[in-house]
Amino acid sequence: MAIAERKPRAVGLGRRLLALYLGLVLFGVSIALLVVSGLGLDSWDVFHQGVAQRTGVGLGSIVILVGAIVLALWIPLRERPGIGTVSNVILVGLAIDGALVFLPEPSALALQVLFMVAGIVLNAVATALYIGAGLGPGPRDGLMTGLAKRGHSIRLVRTSIEVVVLAAGWLLGGTVGIGTVLYAISIGPLVHYLLPRLTIVGGSRSEPSENAPCASPPPDFAGERR
- Domain map of the chain by residue range? 13-202
Average pLDDT, the chain: 85
Of residues 11 and 16, the one with the higher pLDDT is 16
Region 143-160: mean pLDDT is: 78
Tell me the pLDDT tens digit for each residue of 17-67: 999 999 999 999 999 999 999 999 999 999 999 999 999 999 999 999 999
Please check the confidence at residue 14 and state whether its pLDDT lies above 80. Answer: yes
pLDDT band at 202; cut points 50, 70, 90: low
Residue 77 to residues 70, 142, 143, 164, Cα–Cα distance (Å): 11, 9, 8, 20
According to the model, what pLDDT value does residue 201 have?
Answer: 62
pLDDT band at 155; cut points 50, 70, 90: confident
Please check the confidence at residue 125 and state whether its pLDDT lies above 80. Answer: yes
Please check the confidence at residue 8 and state whether its pLDDT lies above 60. Answer: no
